[in-house]
Structures are given as C-alpha cells and as structure tokens.
Structure 1
Amino acid sequence: MRGRIEDGQPVTIGPVEPAVVEAGDVVLVRWKGGVLLHLVKEATRDRVLIGNNVGRVNGWASRRDVLGRVVRVHPLGS
C-alpha cells in the first residue's frame, strides 16, 4: 500500500457490511489462508478485486471474505 499506507504504519480497522464496500476502500480481507490489507480496485455484487496502491492486482475475493475496512491511518511513529 506504499504511498497510501507505509509498511509498519498503524491503522484502525472498523467493521463494515461487505455489501457496501466499493472501489477505493482499503479492506482487511481473507486471502489464501491468511489476511491482507488491500485496496479494492473494483466491486461487483458478489466480489471485490483487490490489489495494492502501485498497480498490482491480486485477484477477486468474495465479499464474504471482507473482514473490516480502514477507518483511520495513523502517523508513522505513533
């Protein structure tokens, strides 16, 4: 998420109804046996396309796998 959230930068994640997640949101999502904090690139009725802030796309995830949404990015060192 370089440029938007730097490595090691603290964030606050809040609950979110997966149905309201849209492109541009940063979400915590279950992905391949783990969890990732990623940018939503596109959203359909059932899925979200996740990737990073510098152009990489990971792939489609079910909306059921969206666990939360970033509500605040804290300054580094806080």
Structure 2
Amino acid sequence: MADTKKNNALQKPMTPSSELAAVVGSGQLSRGECVSKIWDYIKKNNLQNPSNKREIIADAKLKPVFGGKDKVSMFEMNKHLAAHLK
C-alpha cells in the first residue's frame, strides 16, 4: 500500500528556467510533462537528425537549454533539462 503514497520524482511540479519556459511555457510542470512538451516541440519543428533519430538538433530556442550546443543526444537532453527545472 505504501507505493500509492510514494511521491514520484517525475511527477513533482517544478518551475522551468526562463530559457526552458520559452519552449514549454512558464507554468509549473512535472519532469515527465516537460520531457513530453520538449518532444512535441522537437517533432513539430522537425529537429531530429534524420540519419540518427536519437540526435536532437538545437534551434534558437533549444540552444540555451542545451548549454549552447548545436546538437545533443536524447540521453544528454534529459541531463540538460534537469538543470533547467527547479
């Protein structure tokens, strides 16, 4: 029964940084919701590398979130997102 009360870190409401808010909005959202919104943005703007779908190509809005990098892997992206959620 204790499992139902356990607060999942992915569901805890967090506040995005101003850089991340430019992509996902400024309201509080969980890490899971944030990742989902980022993926919606990536797909809507066709930012996946066609020859390597695991690679995300940063546009002007994503670059500050990705620490100024032009492209990051899916796994690296989550690390960058974590730094922008407080």
TM-score, structure 2 as length reference: 0.33
Q: Which has the higher helix share?
A: 2
Task: Choose between structure 1 and 2: higher strand proportion.
Answer: 1
Query: What is the TM-score of this pair, normalised by structure 1?
Result: 0.35
Larger Rg: 2
